[in-house]
Amino acid sequence: MSELTTIARPYAKAAFEFAVEAKAVENWLEMLVFAAEVSKNDTITGYLSGNASVEQAKEVFLGVCGEQLNEQGQNLVKVMAENERLLVLPQVAEQFAALKAEFDKEVTVDVSSAVELSADQQSNISAALEKRLARKVKLNCVVDASIVSGLIIKADDMVIDGSIRGKLDRLATTMQS
């Protein structure tokens, strides 16, 4: 997986730099997400993994994508096809989205709670995290009854475990030491 990420990085970075220069970041994200979904299709994956020539792969892929890709998006697909990299489009789209979030000073935060959070609770959590992270925060709330009570907040590599389950686990670890 990390190999695919390494392969995808230069494509995502080049596409992002072009999109910023053209002031079309959102449009490029939509194109890359669409192309990534096409590349995940079983039929397309089988075709690209098979004995198709570079020209055939370009033709089929661009034929399926049709009007969803503008001229520059088609050029990216052509370059990736020539380098036999169309199967890494999902990673390119993922890295492009991460670059966009960094550019927009946004972060997606996963919040796990034992019960559904109210709108007030979500806005309070969002405001506190925006202040702490100095970024716009987009919450992704999930209910997980196994944490008993409290919250687990994950943003990039930061984890705040304020759950009862986490406290019990830490207490058990301390008592075993």
pLDDT digits (tens, 9 = 90+) for 78-95: 888 888 888 899 999 999
Q: What is the pLDDT of residue 30?
A: 93
Q: What is the pLDDT of residues 97-141, one digit of tens each?
A: 989 988 888 888 999 998 999 999 999 999 999 999 888 899 999
* Helix axis angle, 25-40 to 2-22, nearest 10°: 150
Q: What is the pLDDT of residue 15?
A: 92
Residue 133 has which token pair?
């992270």
Q: What is the pLDDT of residue 66?
A: 80
Cβ contact 148:169 at 8 Å: no
Which domain CATH number covers 44?
1.10.520.20
For residue 64, what are the domain limits?
A: 2-102
Mean pLDDT in the chain?
88
For residues 120 and 159, membership in a common domain is answered with yes
Examine the fold and report which residue of 65, 80, 102 is the final residue of a domain before the chain moves on. Answer: 102
Residue 57 has which token pair?
């792969």
